[in-house]
Amino acid sequence: MNQAGRPKDLLTARVRPNTSRAARRSAVIGPSRAAIVGCLALSLSALLCAYPARAADGMERELVAERDAEGPPPMPSLSHQGLALDFEYAIVRATATDVVTGEPLEGPGAYGYAAALAASFALVPRRFYVGVAEDFASASVPSGISRESGGSSVVAGNPELWARALWTSRVGLAAGGGLGAVLPLPRSFTATETEVVRVVRVMRPWGEPHFQDLTMTLRPFLDIRHMVGPVLLEARQGIDLGVRVRDLRGHESRTEIGAQTSLFVGLRLHRTVMAGLELHEVYQLTADVSSPSCPAPCDEHRVELSIAPSLRFRWRPIAPSLSLLLPLSTPLRAEVDSYYAARLHVGANLALD
């Protein structure tokens, strides 16, 4: 814990701002360039190195097939053949904050609902993949000091396309990487929709670019997975490079850089049951995270940590799971004061042979 009482960032390098905005941007963008170049290089290397690798045969194919349905609920199966479909539905109860004062709203809390759909297709079985994802969300937010605040609305997220590659071994190790692109829908959020997305973004903080207003985002990422007996370890590290294609507001900059890390530990309790624990971190490197209680330059709300225990079942080709999402730090950008969410996830692998 640091002096301000915030959790120490263990997964990504913290950037401490100077008093001037120019100094803060210089300090942040300098080291982040190296991280961006490194992540892009490793992602492209994974895509290139997977091609000449020998195709799995015999026992290796059988072992890899047994692991196709494993992994954390928010992500499609890391290795699969044919088509992988994923559906997630989440319900969140949050204590919303007033958009004017930033103070928690009294009375009934805010409730949000989100549905995420994703599909991944294996161009080369268990080697090269392409995919697409789409989100839909709604929320009911109580009124604050401003008469225009509060309300309910349904918001469609920005679609994401990606391509990735994977290398696997017969000893249970798999590694790879890829590149995603979040394409902005041609719309601008209304005042009500702006308050709605402040609530729904905390349900999937790693997917925050899906609910950005007119912002195009590139998302290079790296994946690694290892299985040892009944234990599964999986991690994803990525960088979000966003460019706003609209007029800037307040302290916004044209570009925005963020980092995100997801860790998953699973324990197979039975051939068809796995208990898991997810740890997610989102770090806003250059975003304006100031609030009425923390004027710019502010570093208090730059990092978001969350944890999610889960229970996953498997009945080929379907793998449903239930999980809870709980915050370990201040929610993303302090857009709500506190929250907890329940998630239902259903994945299906279709071989298409």
pLDDT, tens digit, 9 for 90 and up, residues 191-219:
788 878 878 887 788 888 999 889 999 99
pLDDT, tens digit, 9 for 90 and up, residues 293-310:
676 667 777 888 999 999
Could you tell me if 279 and 253 are in contact, meaning their C-beta atoms sit under 8 angstroms apart? no
User: How many residues would you count in the chain?
Assistant: 353
Radius of gyration in angstroms for the set of CA atoms belonging to the chain, rounded to a whole number = 20
pLDDT, tens digit, 9 for 90 and up, residues 121-151:
999 987 899 999 999 999 888 876 666 667 7
| Closest listed residue to residue 293, CA positions, set 156, 99, 107 | 99
Could you tell me if 126 and 170 are in contact, meaning their C-beta atoms sit under 8 angstroms apart? no
| Closest listed residue to residue 166, CA positions, set 91, 96, 37, 71 | 71
* Domain residue ranges of the chain, discontinuous segments joined by +: 21-350
CATH superfamily of 21-350: monomeric porin ompg (2.40.160.40)
pLDDT, tens digit, 9 for 90 and up, residues 91-129:
999 887 776 666 777 767 889 999 999 999 999 987 899
274 pLDDT above the threshold of 80: yes
Tell me the DSSP string of 182-201: EPPPS----HHHHHHHHHHG
φ/ψ region of 334 (left if φ > 0, alpha if ψ in -120 to 50, else beta) reads left
